[in-house]
Amino acid sequence: MRIDAVSRNWLTKKFGANVCFDEPMARHTSLRVGGPAEAFIAPNSFERLVELVEWSFKKKIPYVVVGHGTNLLVKDSGIKGLVIVLMDCLCTIERKEGEKEGVMVTAMAGARIQSLCSYALVNGLNGMNFALGIPGTVGGGIMMNAGTALGSMESVLKAIHVLQPWGAVKRVGIENLAFSYRGLSWKENQLSNGPSLSFIIDGSFLLHPSDPHELKKEAEKIQGARKKSQPFGRLSAGCFFKNPRTGKTAGELIELAGLKEISIGGAGVSPIHANFIINNGNATAADILALMETIQEKVLQTFNIYLEEEVKIIGS
């Protein structure tokens, strides 16, 4: 335990019903697995968020910021320290007028990616349709450089603001953001050992006025295609492994290795999309990790390719 009684009191006084102690992370991840967070906090204002971050930095209490948990596998042992979510305090989406090249839309980190897509559609702005159907928050989406074959966050993002652990807000422009396949880092993150303490509070996206009717038609087509190719309504974290840079996709390799539909405990490979690991209802994080390792070993033996996880595995 890292949070002593005095700290618990401080958190309770400051955050009331917005702090939960020993909160099962299974309630906050789309895989519905994961042990308890020592303290799970959803500040309801930006001022409270800054106060919390400054306090934990001074007290050397570790914290991790998560979004909607749609790309997370939390271990059964849970998370020591604080888990902070931004969905109650940083949710607005606004446009800035006067951009020469297009329309700059700023979305706060706790807003849903789907709210940003809808905002763009309603306002006839082109650029966000690639993200239709991707669950989670803008902050998580930027951090994961979320995307599809049609594009990813890096194709529209122009800048982010980050909150530093000492409470200062800093702008980081596109020129200082290093995007990779399902990842992002900026200078300060690269220099730090261990998890970064600075986190995203908003992102500015450059979108372009377009024919709303055409945009909606395109959106319907994209959403229809997603529904056909993914295990809709099942508990998952989306694609579990990154696709190799060249050649077959992770899903194809898993299928060709004869692993489609295998299961360990309550975790199984989806019969619809082999790169989706599904919680069949009673899986533990240990089941999912065991299935993950089995897949990695078999694909390595068969094709000499190591499948790297796309899902973020956290926990003590």
Ligand X SMILES: Cc1cc2nc3c(=O)[nH]c(=O)nc-3n(C[C@H](O)[C@H](O)[C@H](O)COP(=O)(O)OP(=O)(O)OC[C@H]3O[C@@H](n4cnc5c(N)ncnc54)[C@H](O)[C@@H]3O)c2cc1C
Question: Per CB under 6 A, does 66 bind ligand X?
Answer: yes
Q: How far is the CB of 58 from ligand X (least distance, A)?
A: 20
Among the residue ranges 51-59, 138-146, 173-181, 263-271, the one whose residues contact ligand X (CB under 6 A): 138-146
Q: Which of 23, 89, 239, 255 is catalytic?
A: 239
The string of DSSP codes covering the chain is --S-HHHHHHHHHHHGGGEEEEEEGGGGSTT----EEEEEE--SSHHHHHHHHHHHHHHT--EEEESSSTTEEE-TT-EEEEEEE-TTT---EEEES--SSSEEEEEETTSBHHHHHHHHHHTTEES-GGGTT--SBHHHHHHTT-EETTEEGGGTEEEEEEE-TTS-EEEEEGGGEEEETTEEEEHHHHHSSSS-S-EEEEEEEEEEE--HHHHHHHHHHHHHHHHHHS-TTSB--SB-BPPPSSSS-HHHHHHHTT-TT-EETTEEE-SS-TTBEEE-SS--HHHHHHHHHHHHHHHHHHHS----B-SEEE--
To the query of whether residue 245 is one of the catalytic residues in this protein, the response is no
Provide the minimum distance between the beta carbon of 161 and ligand X in the complex, in angstroms, as a whole number: 10
Active site residue 239: yes
**Among candidate residues 65, 67, 70, the one with its CA nearest the CA of residue 30:** 70
By CB under 6 A, is residue 315 in contact with ligand X? Answer: no
Beta carbon of residue 128, minimum distance to ligand X (angstroms, whole number): 13
Does 148 sit near ligand X (CB under 6 A)? Answer: yes
**Does the footprint of ligand X cover residue 81 (CB under 6 A)?**
no
The reply on whether position 135 binds ligand X by CB under 6 A is yes
Residue 134 in the binding site for ligand X (CB under 6 A)? yes
Q: Say whether 310 is catalytic.
A: yes
Q: What residues between 232 and 271 interact with ligand X by CB under 6 A?
A: 236-238
Candidates 47-55, 119-127, 130-138, 294-302 — which segment interacts with ligand X by CB under 6 A? 130-138
Active-site residue, from 23, 38, 89, 182 = 182
Contact between 197 and ligand X (CB under 6 A)? Answer: no
* 144 lines the binding site for ligand X (CB under 6 A): yes
> Which two tokens mark 271?
């019969």
Instruction: Indicate which single residue of 36, 78, 136, 203 sits in contact with ligand X (rule: CB under 6 A).
Output: 136
CB nearest ligand X: which residue?
A: 67
- Residues of this chain that interact with ligand X (CB under 6 A) are 30, 64-72, 86, 109, 134-137, 139-141, 143-144, 146-148, 199-200, 236-238, 312
* Residues acting as catalytic residues: 182, 239, 310
